[in-house]
Structure 1
């Protein structure tokens, strides 16, 4: 059993080492240097908001400058040309395309007119809706998202928030007034390129900032159409069509209609931009993403608090498990070599002249008490508890044909999760690898079909299953099919909103291809090897033909009570770290979660905690003479998923300000899917730990 605990402890030690690992770029990977006056492509991506889950491609917005299709010299890109995306980028809603904005290294541009966009009544209403919902826009230069720059309260540190606002709302009057940001000041920070490129005059970009202004139509402009004085703008660009004096009366300047009326004509929006290059030697190229990691230095103290909290809980559980192993169980079996249960009595046979040392606790030698052993017909003592279940404890569970595929899928998810956390903690998956986390996750999940089939087949054969091909199909289809079905239904709602969050039909076909043509064959290979070549796990005791009657159980180990009570402990280990994850995923999309070293440690502690909670719970159940532990171990291991989902519900009502039916449905659906993944993963950890524990004490 000590060996059973050793493996999670090794993972915990590895996680503590990962705390010292900082995000880094693989040397020489994706470094791009520019010569003076060399063209730099500016790409537009999407608009998104912290108040909704719907994203929109930038060029799908009806009130922005449409692409002209002009070719950019030196870049080979046409304005409006879509950039090839990886699977992760598509799934996260990215829709990147080349823009009409011209950038040349170290060439400042005081002001350029981009376009004069004429919009209709519906377009105006759409712009107001997006501004009111707090949408921000993401542009990309040299793989850096355009950022809004902020300074901490003590004015000692600058940090970035990805994206910039579409506009603002003024609520000071009787009715809200909407202002559109139609001038963008682009600041590109650069420094000398490292290595030989720098010696040849190459420069690398280390910062991309965008500052917005709302410039009214009545502002004085020069002959090119640019504002004459960008520093002194006293009138913003308000989103409404100013009526003539006849309709508005004397207060035409203060007239604010509720909406644009038919016949009022169209509104023309003048867009312009400025470009400035600033040398900044204080930021290394491989540290240029640090400014996007909002408040992580301050949050590190809370992360350490989460780890200390987790270690305390895990330490208490470890003490309980060791007490069970070193005192309770060993005391229960002291002096026994071979036991058989009959009529509530534990009877012992005479010791053999030459005995072998058993591997299990029931077979451990008790030489000091050999003289106290009685004859076969003599009852040594009245005994109840786990020792009476040796003929029933390995009886195959009901619906074992369903449990085996779930365990297989859980192993698949466990392999994927370990790979993602390790690659992220080591810096391979970093923010510069846009969409890399999702792409690698899908790839690892597909490849882990081998492990899914193998473990599912071995568990299935251990349950005396006969049709391993049917089990293989269940393993390959059950969990992935459920996830795909939910995503497809959600996609229909998102498609109706014309959002870039919707997965394109071609991408859905590609996912189905990967599922059916890659994962299913891998599951088949793993199932064949696990069922035919490896076979079932051998049990240390034989199962009786007649099942033993289970006595009435205490209230705390009946039904879902055990699952909920046991699930509280793993949830207490992770709930602080969950707050940071939720904040990054749902509340602060302009920031980046990138403290995977802490996450790796908390995850290792979580696995160890789930294993120990499951062992204690199953031991208590066996002591109550209840041998139905197979499903119970799986449910207890995944029980904290219920509390995580309740935490999601609390977070939605207390922390978030999501509006709209579709966005709320997406939140709860994605949260439910994430909790299913988490529950399946931790349930598998609990099942395998309990199986190893039971085999050990009965072996």
Structure 2
């Protein structure tokens, strides 16, 4: 019987359709086998802090450098994330322990270097290393009587919970004193894979932990021309203080301990993916899905029953040739498809929304299948960038066809507007923010060559595809509207206060935002607090719920508007359908105030700059979904009534 297994977090697609078919891996990372004594490279990725949101290269601080510094070739996503993967002086061999090794000879930090290290410690920077593409994690142990018990008594208590945090702290501060973690105790776990030939085993790295320590240089007792050292007892050692006002002597050391683990290679990411409370995540998402489904069902029942009653009444009036004056949404049938103002801009924004919708749908679906797992570093962002470029053909097609439906005739200008309006805003804001990041000498600054590559992708891939799609969309027959438009526009009656656009935005945004605000918290944590995001299956479900809720609330709002005999729905539906973006903005401000400890100007500017782009993209996405749902709804109901 055919069998297929997808190991999601390893990015492994193992197909065993026939007994003699060899398994293969697409497109993630294949396991690497080691023999005892083989070198396991320890590489540095970057330094990060949730307080500054500015990543830095590992060697921006005076760590021990190898004789030849080798940077790994990064993909587009890694460059945009600020990753700069580089080799280190740490020598680690498979299943070979090291008690205490000196990374390099004693270093004397200059006043400028000491001041820089003290600043990075005060800003709570974390150091990120990888071994066999597995990120280092620091174990956090929690005891049930943490406050009541202390010292040795606390250590005897059974553990209540064990969690891990990404990377390790550069150091710690105590008042006005700063201490550097200069000794790293690496704990690596391996899993044995027995070979068929005999008792020889392959070893695979399945976990990478570190216990950072601050040990004064005199207490390390370096011997053998500073190649090995000895660690003092914890009670008798003093921490390595960094005085920013003078030169400081520092010795960087490390130790290595290997432990065997029952965890298999395919499950080695489970440790990192459970850094947050998974149980709360599951419960919250299920709760949101149930509530939204319930509300959506009620809305659907109400709108369907009301519409059936309206259509039956309108058709019955025509059958008995009643001379009663028309009222409600049938009364505006001669103006409901009248083209709005600025049709080119509207169609361009909707084209960008279609482009975003296709990109988001494909990325989430592919990630749900495990092909964009955290082990494929930077793959998610790289895929998103390329997909947005290639989805330009669909954005151009829908924009061109809608533009022709709205009686537009300058298709070349419309195609140019579609290809440049949204991308120009995104690239312009990113370039301005990038200038500030350049000024901070952060690795988060996009290099000039990468910026040129992005521009070439925009002008060489996205824009031609938008023009191509726009050309075919404009040549195709416009959407078939079921009623004719009168030559003289009808006067819109005075509307009640609750039909105001701002009130509509506030009302329409509640349900879609309620469908995804739990997921929004985890997404923000992944972006701004350097956490891993992994529940793409739930994200796909939330995205479907978001599409359904946006469509339904848009249909309800446009129905109320037409019942009030206001036929100017084109722009209004697009604006109101994106109302949940307003709540996303409010939530982003709340998250900034309550969850982040950012006080400086440039990190605040980066947060709100990138958040503004996220809100803009979300508004385009939800506005487009709501617009097309309302458009199909209006065409459907006017085709169902008899109009002379």
Taking structure 1 as the reference length, what is the TM-score of the superposition? 0.83
Contact 1:144 1:432 in 2 (8 A): yes
From the superposition, tell whether residues 237 and 152 of structure 1 become closer, same or farther in structure 2 (CA, over 3 Å).
Answer: closer
Q: Distance in 2 between matches of 1:636 and 1:524?
A: 29
**3-state DSSP class of the match of 1:202?**
strand
Matched, 1:122 2:112: yes
1:127, CA displacement in angstroms?
Answer: 0.6
Q: Across the two proteins, how many residue pairs are aligned to each other?
A: 602
Would you say the 8 A contact 1:321–1:616 is kept in 2? no
1:368-407 paired onto structure 2 within 5 Å: 370=319, 373-374=320-321, 379-407=322-350
CA contact (8 A) 2:9 2:374 kept: no
Distance 1:388 1:220 in 2: 88
**Does the alignment pair 1:555 with 2:497?**
yes
Q: Deviations over 1:588-627 (max 9, x none)?
A: x2x3121122222122111111100000000000000000
Partner of 1:608: 548
Deviation string for 1:170-191 (max 9, x for gaps)? 23xxxx2111111111122111
- Helix, strand or coil at the partner of 2:217: coil
Q: Is the 8 A contact 1:21 1:425 kept in 2?
A: no
TM-score (structure 2 length as normaliser): 0.90
Two-structure CA RMSD over aligned residues (Å): 2.1
Match of 1:633 among 540, 550, 573: 573
Partner of 1:331: 309
Give the drift of 1:218.
2.6
Q: Distance in 2 between matches of 1:609 and 1:288?
A: 37
Secondary structure of the equivalent of 1:212?
A: strand
Q: In the TM superposition, what is the alpha-carbon distance from 1:156 to its structure 2 partner?
A: 6.1
TM-superposed CA distance for 1:273, in Å, is 1.4
Partner residue in 1 for 2:282: 303
Q: Which moved more, 1:509-518 or 1:595-604?
A: 595-604
**2: distance between equivalents of 1:231 and 1:426?**
49
For residue 367 of structure 1, what is the aligned residue in structure 2?
Answer: none
- Residue 236 of structure 2 is aligned to residue 237 of structure 1: no
Q: Residue 454 of structure 2 corresponds to which residue in structure 1? A: 511
The Cα shift of 1:303 comes to: 3.2
| Cα distance between partner residues in 2 of 1:141 and 1:688 | 48
Written as runs of structure 1 = structure 2, the 5 A alignment for 1:582-601 is 582-587=524-529, 589=530, 591-601=531-541
Shift of 1:577: 2.1
- Residue 160 (structure 1) aligns with: 164
Identify if the C-alpha distance between structure 1 residues 578 and 195 changes in structure 2 by more than 3 Å, giving closer, same or farther: farther
Q: Does 1:316 align with 2:295?
A: yes
SS in 1 for 2:259: strand
- Map Cα deviations across residues 104-124 of structure 1 (whole Å, 9 max, x no partner): 212222222112222211111
Query: How far did residue 152 of structure 1 move?
Result: 5.1
1:34 is paired with a residue whose SS is coil
Tell me the alpha carbon deviations over residues 199-224 of structure 1, each in whole angstroms, 9 at most, x when there is no partner: 65321100111111111123161423
SS of the residue aligned with 2:330? helix
Name the CA shift for 1:614/1:222 in 2 (closer, same or farther; >3 Å): closer
Equivalent position to 1:682, from 613, 622, 633: 622
Equivalent residue number for residue 144 of structure 1? 134
Match of 1:545 among 483, 487, 510: 487
User: What pairs with 1:139-288 in structure 2 (closer than 5 Å)?
Assistant: 139-151=129-141, 153=143, 155=159, 158-171=162-175, 176-193=176-193, 200-219=200-219, 221-224=221-224, 225=226, 226-232=228-234, 233-240=236-243, 259-260=244-245, 266-280=247-261, 282-288=262-268
Cα deviations across residues 342-389 of structure 1 (Å, max 9, x unaligned)?
xxxx8x4xxxxxxxxxxxxxxxxxxxxx5xx13xxxx53233110011
Task: Report the alpha carbon displacement of residue 230 of structure 1 after superposing the two structures with TM.
Answer: 4.0
Q: In 2 relative to 1, CA 514–193 (structure 1 residues): closer, same or farther, beyond 3 Å? A: farther
* Shift of residue 150, structure 1, vs aligned partner: 2.6
* Superposition deviation, residue 491 in structure 1: 0.3
Asked if 1:51 is matched to 2:51, the reply is yes
TM-superposed CA distance for 1:335, in Å, is: 5.8
Q: Would you say the 8 A contact 1:23–1:425 is kept in 2?
A: no
Indicate how the Cα distance of structure 1 residues 678 and 628 shifts in structure 2: closer, same or farther if over 3 A, else same.
Answer: same
Runs of 5+ unmatched residues, structure 2: 1-5, 15-23, 145-158, 640-644
Distance 1:556 1:185 in 2: 64
User: How big is the shift at 1:95?
Assistant: 0.3
Bigger mean CA deviation after superposition, 147-156 or 642-651: 147-156
Is the 8 Å Cα contact of residues 575 and 623 (structure 2) preserved in structure 1?
A: yes
Distance 1:290 1:237, change over 3 A: same
Q: 1:536 aligns with which of 478, 499, 512?
A: 478
Kindly state the Cα deviation for residue 169 of structure 1 after the two structures are TM-superposed: 1.1
Deviations 1:16-67 (A, max 9, x none): xxxx996453144321011121122211111101212101000122x22233
CA distance in 1, matches of 2:493, 2:194: 74
Instruction: Indicate which of 624, 643, 657 corresponds to 2:564.
Output: 624
Q: Counterparts of 1:661 and 1:447 in 2: how far apart (Å)?
A: 36
